[in-house]
Amino acid sequence: MSATVTPKVLTANALLEGDVVYLAPDGGWTRQHDRALLITDAATAELHLLDAAARGHEVVGAYLADAKAGPKGPEPIHFREVFRTRGPSNYAHGKQERA
Amino acid sequence: MYRYSEFDADFLRNRVAQFRTQVARRIDGSLTEEEFKPLRLMNGLYLQLHAYMLRVAIPYGTLNGAQMRQLAMIADRWDRGYGHFTTRQNIQFNWPALRDVPDMLAALADVGMHAIQTSGNCIRNVTADHFAGAAKDEVADPRPVAELIRQWSTDHPEFQFLPRKFKVAVTGHADDRAVTAAHDIGLRLVRRDGALGAAVLVGGGLGRTPMIGKILAEFVPMADLLPYLEAVVAVYNLIGRRDNKYKARIKITVHETGIDAIRAQVNAEFAARKPLFSGVDQALLAEITAHFAPPAFSDQGVGGFAADYAADPVFRAFVDTNTAPHRHPDYTIATISLKAHGATPGDCSSAQMRLIADLAAHYAHDEIRISHEQNVVLPHLPKRHLKAVHQALLGAGLATANIGLLSDIIACPGMDYCALATARSIPVAQEIATHFDALKLEHDIGPLKIKISGCINACGHHHVGHIGILGLDRAGVESYQITLGGDGGPDAVIGERAGPGFAYDQIVPAIERILRAYLGLRMGRAESFLAAYRRVGMEPFKAALYGAGGAEADAA
Ligand code: HEM
Ligand code: SF4
């Protein structure tokens, strides 16, 4: 597999609350996209995905999402991932109410 | 009103206990997500974009005050103080925590409600007109027939592995409020020489390949209905495609085989099956019909209704747009709009639910309906109480007089909640409603159905909107495709695509151009948008949308 792919973050939903979470550099889960681990090579990405599948008691539905480096940390690229960083647009529910 | 039996109550309690164990085993790690997922889906628990979602069934859209009050309690205790009513006549709670779901299900079971989903390729929930049993000029209440079909098809051994899922809708009124032409089978109750029967439509459906159902039989007498339906499903079971999921619905079978060939096969199958029906089904139908008996209507006249109607313009506007004729002359059917300008279509706060429950209990025979247009209905409201009810609704932000108008928009959850969405739909609905409210054009424009879906699954029924909006993902940007001329009524039509899509910030101006074009070309106020579209066709609207050059820059 090529090492030069679009950088990724590993994302999923937390088992208990359903909240959107990201794999953090320390191997834990963070709810903030800009604190996520930015994964830049494909082989590592696949390994993390396998690892997340084995952590099904913590998270559900893990997948890799395209991301890019930003001044405060990784930033989402696709609008769906942008929405997932904050919550719905009709109410300040979800993560944005805790921000 | 339909009453659940003791058997049903025990069954519900057992299901909850079983699911409680399954949730515990999921949380302690003994069940994997692969093992747990089918179990949670069967119990109405979905994982959406930002959280879990619990989908609660409201059979035939029918609720009583105690049930509505319990929904309010659940919303306050375990969710965010509101619920979302959907086009499938169910309520969704958008923020449950996994641990709390068994308690929520237990609270539902206490009032005879559940979140059990029919899933898989079987006959799914049967739906009926939300004015059933109340509307003036109704042929017959469709709910007993719907319930008979539900009971017959549940656990029917022959039909557990159909090529694809199968949906049935029943209407008992010439104004088809159940969108029967958009279902695998649509039944329209009719009388012939005094005898009750049904016209049978087959092969309708929205989604990826939208189609309008075709008439399979003009009249099937009630005693023949179940054997006839069994014949239809048996023919489909035999010749429906199993090689391709997207071609497996009966609409494709009908399209590929032809309605006449299907009819011939169904008739042959019917002749073979009819003798096997002993008439037990008719006894069952009589029993079910008794459960749906109408309340005892009172004969106390209409009180000060006429005087209030003449004196109070706000009340008058509400009566004119939000009520429909009832079978009893002193009664009315009142629709409570969940579409206040700028609100999320279909959302109802717990305080609003409690108020509606109280109003139903005090004034309206304790009956509430949920419509597939995401509004709440008091089906049996004496006219003499209408003023008091309106007064109470005003105080709770529930008196918006917009039923059937521009801002009575159907919108699916779209990318604000749904994991399958390709674009948002709720904020588009909110902005259209507030924009035209500011322009004060809504009442001038008159009857108009705008329907919005956030992906091709078409939960917002956009194909049958007079103006339909479909949100798509075009190269990583939200893009909205407009269809015009759709209609979900008795003469159902699939809307026609206007041309290339519009960006998120261009969709409201595009809708305004369409409606300004309509105002300019209509033959007086009596010609509705849909009637004008049928007269002049797509061209004037295309010109309004894309300018004189038309839609050359087709991006789609
Ligand atoms: C948010 C979670 C939801 C998910 C994941 C979801 C998913 C789907 C899918 C996948 C289909 C297509 C099924 C098929 O044809 O194979 C569908 C159909 C449908 N959904 Fe939803 N839906 C959701 C919410 C809703 C809501 C809130 C409504 C009502 C406002 C709704 C109303 C419908 C209707 C009426 C159809 C049938 C359309 C037809 O005639 O084919 N759904 N849904
Ligand atoms: S139409 Fe698509 S986006 Fe809307 S609720 Fe259905 S599946 Fe979700």
Nearest CA, atom 19, ligand 1: B459
Q: How many A×B Cβ pairs under 8 Å? A: 72
Residue B385: inside a domain, yes or no? yes
Residue B11: inside a domain, yes or no? yes
Q: What is the pLDDT of residue B213?
A: 95
Q: Residue B194, Cβ neighbours under 10 Å: how many?
A: 5
Question: Is residue B380 within 8 angstroms of chain A, CB to CB?
Answer: no
Contacts of B352 (CB under 8 A, 6+ apart): B396, B397, B398
Residue of A nearest to B427 (CA): A90
- B414 shares its domain with B487: yes
d(CA A30, nearest CA chain B) in Å:
14
Q: Model-level pTM?
A: 0.90
Q: What is the pLDDT of residue B166?
A: 84
Please state the φ and ψ torsions of residue A22, each to the nearest 5 degrees.
-130, 150
Q: What is the pLDDT of residue B294?
A: 92
User: What 3 state SS string does B46-108 have?
Assistant: EECCCCEEEEEECHHHEECHHHHHHHHHHHHHHCCCEEEECCCCEEEECCCCHHHHHHHHHHH
Between CA A67 and CA A40 the distance in angstroms is 10
Per-residue pLDDT tens for A10-67? 999 999 999 999 999 999 999 999 999 999 999 999 999 999 999 999 999 999 999 9
Q: Helix or strand or coil: residue B518?
A: helix
Q: What is the ipTM of this complex?
A: 0.93
Q: Helix or strand or coil: residue B119?
A: coil
Question: Is residue B33 within 8 angstroms of chain A, CB to CB?
Answer: yes
Q: How many degrees, rounded to 5, is the angle at CA B158 between CA B157 and CA B164?
A: 110
Q: Is the CB of B421 under 6 A from ligand 2?
A: yes
- B77 shares its domain with B101: yes
Between CA B126 and CA B152 the distance in angstroms is 11
Residue B314: inside a domain, yes or no? yes
On chain A, the residues whose CB falls within 8 A of the CB of B415 are 79-80, 83
Contacts of A16 (CB under 8 A, 6+ apart): B27, B97, B98, B99
Residue B123: inside a domain, yes or no? no
CB-CB contact of B459 with B435 (8 Å): no
How many independent structural domains does chain B possess?
4
Q: How many degrees, rounded to 5, is the angle at CA B43 between CA B37 and CA B47?
A: 50
On chain A, the residues whose CB falls within 8 A of the CB of B98 are 15-18
Q: What is the pLDDT of residue B4?
A: 54
Which CATH number does the domain housing residue B280 bear?
Answer: 3.30.413.10
Calculate Rg over the CA atoms of chain A: 13
d(CA A40, nearest CA chain B) in Å:
21
- B437 shares its domain with B318: no
Q: Residue B9, Cβ neighbours under 10 Å: how many?
A: 13
User: Which of A15, A19, A89 is facing B416, going by the closest CB pair?
Assistant: A89
Q: What is the pLDDT of residue B152?
A: 85
- Out of B87, B109, B131, pick the residue that ends a domain: B109
Between CA B4 and CA B7 the distance in angstroms is 8
Tokens describing residue B401:
């007089």
Residue of A nearest to B419 (CA): A80
DSSP string, A35-62: GSPPB-SHHHHHHHHHHHHHTTTTEEEE
Residue B399: inside a domain, yes or no? no
Q: Is the CB of B182 under 6 A from ligand 1?
A: yes
Q: Which residues of A touch B (CB under 8 A)?
A: 13, 15-20, 56-57, 60-61, 77-80, 83-84, 87-91, 93-95
Residue among B234, B128, B220 at smallest CA distance from B183: B128
- B430 shares its domain with B533: yes
On chain B, the residues whose CB falls within 8 A of the CB of A79 are 415, 473, 476-478
- B287 shares its domain with B344: no
- B177 shares its domain with B285: yes
User: Which of B26, B33, B50 is facing A84, going by the closest CB pair?
Assistant: B50
Residue among B124, B113, B98 at smallest CA distance from B45: B98
Say how many Å lie between the CA of residue B315 and the centre of ligand 2. Answer: 36
d(CA A9, nearest CA chain B) in Å:
16
CB-CB contact of B198 with B222 (8 Å): yes
- Out of B340, B361, B394, pick the residue that ends a domain: B394
On chain A, the residues whose CB falls within 8 A of the CB of B478 are 79
Which CATH number does the domain housing residue B15 bear?
Answer: 3.90.480.20
- B520 shares its domain with B423: yes
Identify the domain containing residue B506 by its residue range. Answer: 410-546
Which alpha helices (DSSP H) does B123-173 contain, by range? 143-153
Q: Is the CB of B471 under 6 A from ligand 2?
A: no
CB-CB contact of B452 with B472 (8 Å): no
Please state the φ and ψ torsions of residue B281, each to the nearest 5 degrees.
-60, -35
- B87 shares its domain with B153: no
Nearest CA, atom 3, ligand 1: B418
- B161 shares its domain with B287: yes
- Out of B241, B266, B291, pick the residue that ends a domain: B291
Between CA A68 and CA B385 the distance in angstroms is 61
DSSP string, B171-221: E-SSS--S-GGGSSEEEEEEEETTEEEEEEEES-B-TTS-B--EEEEEEEE
On chain B, the residues whose CB falls within 8 A of the CB of A17 are 51, 97-98
Residue B554: inside a domain, yes or no? no
User: Which of A16, A79, A87 is facing B478, going by the closest CB pair?
Assistant: A79
- B342 shares its domain with B432: no
Between CA B9 and CA A87 the distance in angstroms is 37
- B157 shares its domain with B262: yes
Q: pLDDT tens digits, chain B, 556 residues: what are they? A: 345 565 578 888 999 999 999 999 999 999 999 999 999 999 999 999 999 999 998 988 999 999 999 999 999 999 999 999 998 888 999 999 999 999 999 999 999 999 887 667 777 778 899 999 999 999 999 999 999 998 888 778 887 788 888 889 999 999 999 999 999 999 999 999 999 999 999 999 998 889 999 999 999 999 999 999 999 999 998 888 888 888 888 899 999 999 999 999 999 999 999 998 877 788 889 999 998 999 999 999 999 999 999 999 999 999 999 999 999 999 999 999 999 999 999 999 999 999 999 999 999 999 999 998 999 999 999 999 999 999 999 999 999 999 999 999 999 999 999 999 999 999 999 999 999 999 999 999 999 999 999 999 999 999 999 999 999 999 999 999 999 999 998 889 999 999 999 999 999 999 999 999 999 999 999 999 999 999 999 999 999 999 865 444 444 3
CB-CB contact of B428 with B467 (8 Å): no
Stretch 45-74 of chain B: residues touching chain A, C-beta under 8 Å: 47-52
- B417 shares its domain with B539: yes
Q: Does B426 sit within 8 Å of A88, measured CB to CB?
A: yes
Residue among B291, B210, B255, B272 at smallest CA distance from B488: B210
Mutation to test the B interface, candidates A75, A90, A98, most B Cβ within 10 Å: A90
Say how many Å lie between the CA of residue B90 and the centre of ligand 1. Answer: 12
Residue B132: inside a domain, yes or no? no
B534-538: long-range contacts, CB 8 A cutoff, minimum separation 24: B534/B485, B538/B484, B538/B485, B538/B496, B538/B498
With the most atoms of ligand 2 within 8 angstroms of its CB, the residue from B208, B412, B425, B473 to mutate is B412
Between CA B409 and CA B435 the distance in angstroms is 13
Residue B29: inside a domain, yes or no? yes
Between CA A1 and CA B464 the distance in angstroms is 47
Tokens describing residue B217:
């039989």
Question: Is residue B325 within 8 angstroms of chain A, CB to CB?
Answer: no
